[in-house]
Amino acid sequence: MQNKPLITTETILKWQYLVDQISEIADVPATLIMHAQGQKNNVFVKSSGNDNPYVVGQSFQLHDKLYCFEVLKNGEGICVEDATTDPYWHDNPDMEFGMSFYVGLPLKWPDGLIFGTICMLDRSRNKRALSFRNGLNQFCQIVEDDLAMLEEIEHRKKAETRLQQELDSRETIIKRRTKDLEDANTALRVLLTGVEVSKNEVEERILQQIKGLVLPHVGRLQQLVSDDKRALSHLEIVETNLKNIASDFIGKLAQMLEGLTPTEAEIVQLIIQGRSTKEIAKTLSRGTSTVDFHRNNIRKKLGLTNRGKNLRQHLLKAAEKCYP
């Protein structure tokens, strides 16, 4: 039957024990579990004993004159006490084996679909078997419970298979996405490397242009304004800054001056050059008190709380770190 689980060997052995018990209790030569497949009804399990004429695998064409067909057609049990005296059943196929007595019940899957039948057969009316009809119902229930268990196991296996397929699918997706991310990271590293190379090339060109095109003109300007100390002082600052830019340590100097105001940064550079407070004031056109105010702010921002520590010496040490 399509979409139904196979009957396991363990289940068949269990059913073998059941039909043997039924035959012994009811005192019948044949107890059968039949399996209906299409237009055939096949002997699936038969009770042991030399007096049982049926063979496992034996097949019967389903038609109106077959005991089991009546059970399958109506979905309920029937009892034929003596087919020899019954005009309807006297020529049924089981009479070839002399089986004129029949008690059978349908076997169903949990969804109501027919699996087959369970039946007792004898060659004459059997009072003991008739009295065991309720007992046959109980054995029928055991077989149907087994069918339900087999179907539940099959459903769980299918669910586990679907779950595993889903997990495998997600794992494949994760692997693919991981590969995509790795490829993207590789491409990004290549891009960043290219950007860094380009950046270094640009910086190198700028440095060469400062050295070759700007600094020579600064030198000429210094010659032209040699008699103007203020202008000369500013040119010296420009020259120093340009040289700093042209060095590999401008980033470090900028870090040292970070947090200072533009005026404080100018004063720091003049202090590094060795200018006194008066000279700085003259260069910047500020009062000496203003320069002192800025010097105090610079000390605070650089963490020089000890008044005995020389500001210029501290700046020179910092400059040495910038320009080793």
How confident is the model at residue 246, as a pLDDT?
60
More confident residue, 61 or 200: 61
The one-letter code for the residue type at 287 is G
Is 172 a domain residue?
no
Which tens digits make up the pLDDT trace of 182-201? 888 888 888 887 777 676 67
Query: Same domain, yes or no, for 255 and 145?
Result: no
Q: How many domains does the chain have?
A: 2
Which of these three, 136, 155, 174, is where a domain ends?
155
Q: Two tokens at 236? A: 């010296």
Query: Residue 31's closest CA among 121, 138, 104?
Result: 121
Is 127 a domain residue?
yes
Which tens digits make up the pLDDT trace of 129-142? 999 999 999 999 99
Which of these three, 102, 123, 155, is where a domain ends?
155
The residue written with tokens 């200018």 in the block is 275
Query: Same domain, yes or no, for 150 and 16?
Result: yes
Query: Same domain, yes or no, for 139 and 265?
Result: no
Q: Are 32 and 59 in contact (CB under 8 A)?
A: no
Q: Which residues contact 219 (CB under 8 A, 6 or more apart)?
A: 239
More confident residue, 225 or 249: 225
Query: Same domain, yes or no, for 17 and 114?
Result: yes
How confident is the model at residue 213, as a pLDDT?
62
pTM for this structure?
0.54
| DSSP codes joined into one string, 139-155 | HHHHHHHHHHHHHHHHH
HSE value, Cβ hemisphere, 13 Å, CA-based, for 123: 7
Which of these three, 124, 155, 186, is where a domain ends?
155
Beta bridge partner(s), residue 107: 116
- Diameter over CA atoms, the chain: 150
Query: Same domain, yes or no, for 141 and 24?
Result: yes
Query: Residue 33's closest CA among 22, 46, 24, 23?
Result: 46
Which tens digits make up the pLDDT trace of 79-100? 999 999 999 999 999 999 999 9
Is 147 a domain residue?
yes
Per-residue confidence band for 317, with pLDDT thresholds at 50, 70 and 90? confident
How confident is the model at residue 323, as a pLDDT?
47
Is 124 a domain residue?
yes
Query: Same domain, yes or no, for 118 and 234?
Result: no
DSSP-derived letter for residue 61 is E
State the CATH number of the domain containing residue 86: 3.30.450.40
State the CATH number of the domain containing residue 243: 1.10.10.10
The answer on pLDDT for 234 being more than 90 is no
CA 159 to CA 175: how far, in whole Å?
Answer: 24
Query: Same domain, yes or no, for 127 and 229?
Result: no
Is 26 a domain residue?
yes
Is 105 a domain residue?
yes
Is 167 a domain residue?
no
Is 273 a domain residue?
yes
DSSP-derived letter for residue 324 is -
Query: Same domain, yes or no, for 229 and 114?
Result: no
Q: Which domain holds residue 132?
A: 9-155
